[in-house]
Amino acid sequence: MNPPRIFVLAGEPSGDKLGGALMAGLKQLEPGAEFRGIGGPEMTAQGLSSLFPMSELSLMGIWEILPQYRALKRRMAQTAQAVLDWRPDALVTIDSPDFALRVARQVRAADPNIRTIHYVAPSVWAWRPGRAAKMAQVIDHVLAILPFEPPLMRAAGMTCDFVGHPVVAEPRAAEAEAAAFRQRHGIAPDAPLVLCLPGSRRGEVQRLGPRFDEALIRLRDRIPEIRVVLPTVPGVSAMISEMTRRWPTAPIVVGDAAGKRAAFAAADLALAASGTVSLELAANRVPMVIGYDMAPLSRVVIGWLLRTDTVTLVNLVSETRAVPEYLGRNCLPGPMAHALYDLLDDPAARAEQMAAMELTMERLGRGGEPPGLRAARSVLGAIARAR
């Protein structure tokens, strides 16, 4: 049997990381595997020559996309034609559904024999369940990163494997690095260290930053010795620096990956925006309080569509409600400060979260095969069934 030929398409840095790990796993299982596609540095390191720069696809929000719409449509057509010209065994699209699934639709219409695989299931468990049925029109197989997703994908008509969440394979800082971080920033070993994580997008930071700061001011009123660290990412780092200059709490801002890992390892507590950061905190055993809000119209629409009573992934995966969350109109400094204080003051509440975080990491695949290798096995299995 000939080695598999796989076209891999990622549209943003998180997808590039998944794609790089997938390609490494495929090369381990099938050393002769051939790749073409679109990706960033992680996939390039595995030997991919990107059809065009992935950065052209890393757009978010209607006002960013509209000016580039015609260019994106041309890139969709170019990508679909590249797949059809090469005729791979499988097209693997990674997240970025607005672009990726349109490419898959064009490929499916022209050549139904090319196996289509999508990595990262849509969050139909949270809202818009019809997305799964729509995706099933163009996707054969799904690689899920949350353990409760496969039945939902299968019910929509696709095959699906849970392959583990990438957070379980992320490097973590050692105790010595955590101690060195505290020493470097003049934080006493017994001083409570709180992470402030108001999001990775400008709108999130603008909306949540001042509320989080006020919550931490109130916490400091009760525990004067607390120190606050705010890890940031390139897209909002300048904005964070400018905003926090006006904050009375004066957090330590950390922008590099090593500093962020050390801060997570050194922290006792976190106040964080809703999202995958809750899983990063769980992986580092950092108890947390979650807060989130959005523009008033979006808040109303999402409120109508939301299908769960919690949006925190630790709560969902562990099937508990151990992590307190303050969403929408309830995202207020006072209640969040009170919940943070309880986590520092109440051993039972802290122990309940620790247990939920441990269970979450087990269910996400910690201790098993790396997610990239599991994903590779699933891709090869999907190809074998098609053959």
Residues 333 and 317 reside in one and the same domain: yes
Greater confidence (206 vs 355) lies with: 355
Residues 212 and 131 reside in one and the same domain: no
Q: Is 169 within the bounds of a domain?
A: no
- pLDDT digits 0-9 by tens, 29-45: 999 999 999 999 999 99
Q: Is 329 within the bounds of a domain?
A: yes
**What pLDDT does residue 63 have?**
40
> Residue 292 is part of which domain span?
175-363
**What pLDDT does residue 61 have?**
41
Q: Is 110 within the bounds of a domain?
A: yes
pLDDT band at 304 (very low <50, low <70, confident <90, very high): low
Amino acid at the residue 188? A
Residues 85 and 181 reside in one and the same domain: no
CB-based contact 272:278 (threshold 8 Å): yes
pLDDT at 337 over 50: yes
Q: What is the mean pLDDT of residues 317-326?
A: 95
Q: Is 346 within the bounds of a domain?
A: yes
DSSP bridge partners of 289: 271
pLDDT at 191 over 80: yes
**What pLDDT does residue 362 have?**
97
- pLDDT digits 0-9 by tens, 222-237: 999 999 999 987 667 7
DSSP per-residue letters across 116-129: EEEES---TTTS-T
- pLDDT digits 0-9 by tens, 287-301: 999 999 877 666 665
Q: β-strands 159-162, 115-119: how paired?
A: unpaired
- Of 292, 294, 281, 368, whose CA–CA distance to 322 is shortest? 281
Supply φ then ψ for residue 7, to 5 degrees: -95, 120
Q: Is 170 within the bounds of a domain?
A: no
Greater confidence (277 vs 58) lies with: 277
Share of the chain above pLDDT 70, in %: 91
DSSP per-residue letters across 288-357: EEEEE---HHHHHHHHHH--SS---HHHHHHTS--S-EEEGGG--HHHHHHHHHHHHH-HHHHHHHHHHH
Q: Is 192 within the bounds of a domain?
A: yes
Q: What is the mean pLDDT of residues 335-362?
A: 96
**What pLDDT does residue 305 have?**
56
Residues 157 and 189 reside in one and the same domain: no
Residues 114 and 180 reside in one and the same domain: no
Per-chain mean pLDDT for the chain: 90
> In total, how many domains does the chain have?
2
Residues 204 and 130 reside in one and the same domain: no
**What pLDDT does residue 232 have?**
85
pLDDT at 59 over 60: no
Residues 183 and 295 reside in one and the same domain: yes
Q: Is 121 within the bounds of a domain?
A: yes
Supply φ then ψ for residue 94, to 5 degrees: -120, 115
Q: What is the mean pLDDT of residues 11-37?
A: 94
Residues 308 and 374 reside in one and the same domain: no
**What pLDDT does residue 240 have?**
79
- pLDDT digits 0-9 by tens, 109-138: 999 999 999 999 987 765 667 788 999 999
pLDDT band at 303 (very low <50, low <70, confident <90, very high): low
**What pLDDT does residue 307 have?**
63
**What pLDDT does residue 62 have?**
39
CATH number at residue 314: 3.40.50.2000
**What pLDDT does residue 339 have?**
97
Q: What is the mean pLDDT of residues 188-203?
A: 89
pLDDT band at 283 (very low <50, low <70, confident <90, very high): very high
Residues 47 and 17 reside in one and the same domain: yes
**What pLDDT does residue 148 have?**
92
Residues 348 and 375 reside in one and the same domain: no
pLDDT band at 67 (very low <50, low <70, confident <90, very high): low
